[in-house]
């Protein structure tokens, strides 16, 4: 199976790529900055989509000016679809959306618009498209101050920096990157009857921002992860340790 991945150098894309490399039944192709640019409909993008069995669209922009966020999500996806429209054998497309699609933020609304674009494209061209609306992701080496409150807290606490909490009662649903990757890989090989399928990827790890910060602060006293009973706590602990190295 030939799999093309956009955004393979990002946090989710990188972990997904590492997992897929372990398989002998797939061949991977990448389309990433700075060499390749989804804001351009050129021959490199045409070569990327041609002959692929599935394309995983993980590339996105969630920080920056409104224009940068719109370009990095809506325009980039439009260009990808425009090139796919030209080829006769269309691939299956797996889009990594976000729980932010349920918010009124610019990034969230961009994700929601892309979901609508993909549904229309699937209906029009009878092409299988799956949109995974993913909750908050955390894990080792995630970039702090970018797209993970866990990464930000772990970095601040591990480096004795001040932790600023705007709303300690805000509830978040968190999924560990390795568990997310397993869900994504599963979707790659599933054949669904519907051409467009929107699925929410979530976990049972629900916690307030305040409790999350306090929990991570307590890890400094932990000497062995076996002291922690819940797997969620162990995953958080391993993430915390990655920022102390």
pLDDT at 172 over 80: yes
Number of domains in the chain: 1
Give percent of the chain above pLDDT 90. 90
The predicted model gives 109-132 an average pLDDT of 97
- pLDDT at residue 174, as a whole number: 98
- pLDDT at residue 234, as a whole number: 96
Q: In this predicted structure, which of 7-16, 50-59, 95-104, 217-226 has the lowest mean pLDDT?
A: 217-226
Residue 216 CA to residue 170 CA, distance in Å, equals: 16
The predicted model gives 223-237 an average pLDDT of 91
Q: For 39, what's the count of Cα atoms within 13 Å in the CB-facing half-sphere? A: 12
Cα–Cα distances in Å, from 135 out to 45, 100, 151, 178, 215? 29, 8, 15, 14, 20
27: which 2 tokens? 């061949």
Q: What is the CATH number of the domain that holds 218?
A: 3.40.50.720
The predicted model gives 50-68 an average pLDDT of 96
The predicted model gives 46-75 an average pLDDT of 96
The predicted model gives 219-227 an average pLDDT of 87
What range does the domain containing 107 cover? 2-242
pLDDT at 229 over 90: no
Element (H, E) at 71: none
245 vs 168, higher pLDDT: 168
Quickly count: other Cβ atoms within 10 Å of residue 48's Cβ: 20
Residue 108 DSSP class: H
pTM of the model: 0.93
Dihedrals φ, ψ of 92, to 5°? -75, 140
Lookup result for tokens 């051409």: 195
pLDDT at 205 over 70: yes
Question: pLDDT-derived band of residue 112, with 50, 70 and 90 as boundaries?
Answer: very high
Residue 126 CA to residue 147 CA, distance in Å, equals: 33
Lookup result for tokens 């602990």: 237
The predicted model gives 97-113 an average pLDDT of 97
pLDDT at 245 over 70: no
Indicate the average pLDDT of the chain.
95
The predicted model gives 87-114 an average pLDDT of 97
Lookup result for tokens 């970018």: 146
The predicted model gives 62-66 an average pLDDT of 93
């Amino acid at each position: 199976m030939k799999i093309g991945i956009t955004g393979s150098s990002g946090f989710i894309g990188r972990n997904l790529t590492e997992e897929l490399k372990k398989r002998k039944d797939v061949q991977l192709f990448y389309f990433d900055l700075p060499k390749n640019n989804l804001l351009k409909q050129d021959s490199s993008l045409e070569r990327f989509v041609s002959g692929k069995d599935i394309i995983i669209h993980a590339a996105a922009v969630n920080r920056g000016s409104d224009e940068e966020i719109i370009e990095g999500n809506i325009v980039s996806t439009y260009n990808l679809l425009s090139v796919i429209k030209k080829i006769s054998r269309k691939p299956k497309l797996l889009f990594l959306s976000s729980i932010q699609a349920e918010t009124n933020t610019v990034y969230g609304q961009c994700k929601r618009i892309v979901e609508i674009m993909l549904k229309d494209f699937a209906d029009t061209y009878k092409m299988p498209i799956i949109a995974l609306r993913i909750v908050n992701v955390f894990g080792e080496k995630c970039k702090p101050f970018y797209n993970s409150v866990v990464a930000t807290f772990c970095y601040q606490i591990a480096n004795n920096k001040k932790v600023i909490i705007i709303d300690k009662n805000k509830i978040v649903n968190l999924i560990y990157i390795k568990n997310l990757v397993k869900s994504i890989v599963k979707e790659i090989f599933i054949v669904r009857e519907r051409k467009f399928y929107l699925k929410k990827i979530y976990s049972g790890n629900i916690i307030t921002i305040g409790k999350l910060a306090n929990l991570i602060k307590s890890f400094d006293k932990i000497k062995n992860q076996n002291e922690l009973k819940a797997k969620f706590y162990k995953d958080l602990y391993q993430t915390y340790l990655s920022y102390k190295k």
